[in-house]
Amino acid sequence: MVSSSHEAMHRIFTHNAAAFARAFHILNLPFPDPVAVEQISVDLTETAPVERRADTVLRVTTPEDTFLLIAEAQSNRDDSRIAAWAYYATFLHNKYDLPVVLVVVCHDKQTAAWASKPMRLTYRGWTSFTLTPLVLGPHNVPAVVDPAEVLDDLPLATLSAITHAREPEIGAILEAIIVAFRRRGSDEETEFYAELVEQGISHTDAAQLWRDKMATDLSFFRSESAQRLRAQGREQGREQGLAEGREEGLELGRAEQAARSVLTVLTGRGIELSAGQRERLMATTDLDQLNAWLLQALTVTGAAELFG
């Protein structure tokens, strides 16, 4: 099943043309800035029963020409994708008679390094097809840690968070996004990118940091994503409180049982406790101390000796 983080890695490109422009600039590509982006069907199935679907396929129009862009999300190395991506590229080229560009968005440097190499379909050294994707990952997407830069380019900041989700700088990136969102306030655009950030890093340790900040720093957000995160935070807090309460209750129950055992042994041996000594015994919650008293209660000759 496709995860939400997988969805976010390519969904960012369907929102506006700015994401493409920034990606092209990051990669130092000689592509003109897009003026229009149109999503087309991702169903690449032919009459054969094998179903094939790309993540995102878009028709990108620039002042100079038009081309198709395939945006694929990749979380780990998978050599089976080579044949699939080759099929996507050739099928779309044949169907629309337009140039095709493959962009692969990666979560980590290892996957990005694998995807960046020319991918070849070969037999005994003979290459029938070579595919070279454009790869976006932590190796070439900058870590956006300045709130001003976030406000200036929300798509790039979101892409930065997604591609650096497992990198040490993710904390600084999320902090910059939070500060920028607080300055800008809650609107359709910030809520959209807040949801993308949440989805894009949901599989990583940074997800909890994002939830905590959404629940406190961005409590004014109206989006369903923000409300869900706050609800999750409250539920987690409630469950933690219940668990801690249950554990505390068990500890108190064990202590009370141990104190009664001490009292039973002393009573059985005919040793009477004063009201103060009894109160002290029943108020003790230290199990080690109670167990020590229980052992001593078998041999002491008086209450003073035990509590002394």
pLDDT value, residue 114:
94
Reduced to 3 states, what is the DSSP secondary structure of residue 36? strand
Q: Which amino acid is at 56?
A: T
pLDDT value, residue 150:
93
pLDDT value, residue 147:
93
Q: Between 274 and 44, name the one with better pLDDT.
A: 274
Token pair, residue 234, equals 């409250």
Burial of residue 126, with CB atoms counted within 10 A of its CB: 0-12 exposed, 13-18 middle, 19 or more buried: exposed
Q: Between 300 and 51, name the one with better pLDDT.
A: 300
Token pair, residue 281, equals 């015994």
Highest mean pLDDT among 51-65, 119-133, 146-160, 245-259: 146-160
pLDDT value, residue 291:
77
pLDDT tens track for 204-237: 888 888 887 777 766 555 555 555 555 555 555 5
Side-chain-side CA neighbours of residue 169 (13 Å)? 18
pLDDT tens track for 23-55: 677 777 777 777 776 776 655 555 444 456 777
Question: Average of pLDDT values for 235-246?
Answer: 57
78: Cβ contacts below 8 Å, ≥ 6 apart:
none
Question: Average of pLDDT values for 170-193?
Answer: 87
Question: Average of pLDDT values for 112-116?
Answer: 93
Mean pLDDT of the chain: 78
Phi/psi of residue 29, nearest 5 degrees? -90, 145
Q: Is pLDDT above 60 for 260?
A: yes
pLDDT value, residue 195:
81
Alpha carbons 145 and 168: distance in angstroms, whole number: 12
Alpha carbons 75 and 9: distance in angstroms, whole number: 10
Q: Is the pTM of this model over 0.75?
A: no
Which contacts qualify for 288-294: CB closer than 8 Å, 24 or more apart? 290/255, 290/258, 290/259, 290/262, 291/258, 293/262, 294/258, 294/261, 294/262, 294/265
Alpha carbons 132 and 138: distance in angstroms, whole number: 18
